[in-house]
Amino acid sequence: MEDRQFGRIHFLRGENKGRYPFANSLYIEGDNLRVIIDPSCSRGKLAYLRDQKGVDAVWLSHWHEDHFTYLYLFDKCPLWISAKDFPPLTGIEQLLDGYGIDNEDYRNYWKSAFQTSFNFRPRQSARFIQEGEIIDLGSVTVEAIPTPGHTPGHLSFFFREESVLFMGDHDLTSFGPWYGDAFSNIDETIKSLQLLRNIPARVWLTGHDKGLFEEYPAARFEHYEKVIYERENKILALLEKQPAALDKIATEWLIYGKPREPLAFFEFGERALLKKHLERLLRQGRVVLDNGTYVKIH
């Protein structure tokens, strides 16, 4: 699928079909402000827009590395982001802490990856986008919609004139939602998905993969949320057979389906998502924690 334009909004297809480590980006041609949202689609496309069309500001839907990859191309532009998502961008240690990476080997792996593969450069200042803020770019009106869960300050953007909704990393992929960061939240993810489903858009854009829907993607929304409950049911089925500690549960690869490399990416992600589910199941009283072992309540 190629890049598309909807009025003043340009949907920029990411390399590798918008899949990680790339992401789809937006370019907004306002009369008063020209904006790039999530500069990760392609270095070539973004450099062209900077040099030939002009970019006045860069917005991030959230702080993740696959959305700021080419932010360094716009060092002279102000960064706009939610206040809740800005702290990880202030330093490499803060970025690692944002993910909750405490394994020293994994931490070293990601420290190198963030700096070399994703061009991380700390930012000390930003213009904070307020939750629910209405921003007039000149012939383009944008509503910043708080959609936390993936990250605490994740924002979606609704372009009123074109009825275009950009949902960032609520991306409707077959893998399902990510909520494995230190401050991610499954319940907030579910609430955000329900909110996004009810916004009166005519075009739905996301940060990854297909990323562009011109008909209401009802089946995509349904599957995406269903993945959450399927993961939960797999955990409960495993604990039904035998109580287990997190280390043991992680060896079953319930999230990714099978062992995958590098472990610093996949094993970390497996444990992070499992931990969030186990915390939720504890809150719901569906499991108890007995000396480090999770036991299903019957």
Domain 4-216, CATH homologous superfamily name and number: Ribonuclease Z/Hydroxyacylglutathione hydrolase-like (3.60.15.10)
Give the per-residue SS3 of the chain: CCCEEECCEEEECCCHHHCCCCCCEEEEECCCCEEEECCCCCHHHHHHHHHHHCCCEEECCCCCHHHCCCHHHHCCCCEEECHHHCHHHHCHHHHHHHHCCCCHHHHHHHHHHHHHCCCCCCCCCCEECCCCCEEECCCCEEEEEECCCCCCCCEEEEECCCCEEECCCCCCCCCCCCCCCCCCCHHHHHHHHHHHHCCCCCEEECCCCCCEECCCCHHHHHHHHHHHHHHHHHHHHHHHHCCECHHHHHCCCCCCCCCCCCHHHHHHHHHHHHHHHHHHHHHCCCEEEECCEEEECC
* Whole-number pLDDT of residue 103: 96
For domain 237-296, give the CATH number: 1.10.10
In this prediction, residue 112 has a pLDDT band, given cuts at 50, 70 and 90, of very high
**Can you give the pTM of this predicted structure?**
0.97
What are the pLDDT digits (tens) for 139-164? 999 999 999 999 999 999 999 999 99
Q: Is residue 217 predicted with pLDDT exceeding 90?
A: yes
The per-residue pLDDT of the chain, averaged, comes to 97
Each domain of the chain, given as residue ranges in start order, spans 4-216, 237-296
State what percent of residues in the chain have pLDDT above 70. 100
Q: Is residue 16 predicted with pLDDT exceeding 80?
A: yes
In this prediction, residue 298 has a pLDDT band, given cuts at 50, 70 and 90, of confident
What are the pLDDT digits (tens) for 116-143? 999 999 999 999 999 999 999 999 999 9
Q: Is residue 248 predicted with pLDDT exceeding 70?
A: yes
What are the pLDDT digits (tens) for 95-104? 999 999 999 9
Q: Is residue 1 predicted with pLDDT exceeding 70?
A: no
